[in-house]
């Protein structure tokens, strides 16, 4: 896993050396916060399924007003959803507990606790190989993607990044500019606004 995190640094050594402090602080903080990402955030998200107030969601946290305009029915929907949310979190907690018990039974049943490695191939070995396979799969195909992109960038002109001067492009599109480099359209709009304001004052 550490090799996966360090591989991008080796692929971009100059960028890594120039921004050494930022990369190291980011990597260390990410590794230290992994338990929070995996546990605390997951628990928080499961216990806050009712909160849909983020992004372009309705202002109401349950969205009951989207189903009916009747206030009484909205309250019924909110109550039903609260019961569903409680049952869902409870069921999720029971499944997590059952998983822990299942793993402990598997570990305790695969040999003596004091034996470090007796050559048996149990559940934990299979699970570890599965995780290692996922990591290797991600690394191999990420490297293949980077190599293919670099090859296309070096060999084909259409993959190269073109330099664009956005300021000059804006001036070209607008067409008319004054001595300060600002669009005369802005000046004409400001003049129209002033005229309207003066008319309103009169």
pLDDT at 149: 85
Cβ atoms within 10 A of the Cβ of 43, count? Answer: 14
Please give the residue that has the higher pLDDT: either 51 or 25. 25
- Given a contact cutoff of 8 angstroms between Cβ atoms, the answer to whether 151 and 142 are in contact is no
pLDDT at 180: 54
Report for 12-21, 54-63, 179-188: range of highest mean pLDDT = 12-21
pLDDT, one tens digit per residue, over 62-74 is 566 666 677 888 7
Determine the Cα–Cα distance for residues 79 and 92; give it in Å rounded to an integer.
Answer: 20
Tokens found for residue 27: 């990597």
Cβ atoms within 10 A of the Cβ of 134, count? Answer: 10
Cβ atoms within 10 A of the Cβ of 128, count? Answer: 10
Tokens found for residue 21: 């402090």
- Given a contact cutoff of 8 angstroms between Cβ atoms, the answer to whether 127 and 121 are in contact is no
- Given a contact cutoff of 8 angstroms between Cβ atoms, the answer to whether 9 and 23 are in contact is yes
pLDDT at 178: 53
Phi and psi torsions of 183, nearest 5°: -70, 135
**Mean pLDDT for all residues in the chain:** 77
Provide mean pLDDT across the span 137-161. 84
pLDDT at 98: 94
pLDDT band at residue 133, thresholds of 50, 70 and 90? very high
Tokens found for residue 151: 């090859």
What separation in angstroms does the CA of 105 have from each of 111, 130, 158? 11, 20, 58
The number of CA neighbours under 13 Å toward the Cβ of 19 is: 11
Provide mean pLDDT across the span 161-185. 65
Determine the Cα–Cα distance for residues 188 and 135; give it in Å rounded to an integer.
Answer: 60
């Amino acid at each position: 896993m550490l090799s996966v995190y360090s591989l991008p640094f080796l692929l971009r050594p100059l960028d890594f050396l120039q921004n050494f402090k930022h990369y190291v602080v980011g990597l260390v903080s990410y590794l230290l916060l992994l338990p929070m990402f995996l546990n605390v955030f997951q628990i928080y998200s499961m216990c806050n399924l009712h909160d849909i107030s983020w992004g372009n969601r309705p202002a109401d946290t349950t969205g009951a007003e989207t189903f009916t305009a009747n206030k009484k029915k909205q309250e019924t929907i909110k109550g039903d959803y609260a019961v569903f949310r409680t049952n869902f979190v409870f069921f999720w907690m029971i499944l997590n507990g059952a998983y822990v018990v299942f793993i402990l039974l598997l570990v305790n049943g695969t040999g003596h606790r004091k034996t470090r490695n007796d050559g048996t191939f149990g559940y934990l070995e299979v699970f570890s190989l599965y995780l290692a396979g996922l990591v290797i799969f991600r690394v191999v195909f990420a490297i293949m993607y980077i190599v293919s992109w670099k090859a296309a960038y070096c060999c084909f002109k259409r993959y190269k990044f073109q330099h664009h001067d956005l300021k000059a492009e804006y001036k070209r599109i607008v067409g008319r500019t004054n001595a300060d480099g600002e669009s005369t359209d802005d000046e004409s709009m400001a003049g129209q606004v002033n005229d309207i304001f003066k008319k309103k004052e009169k």
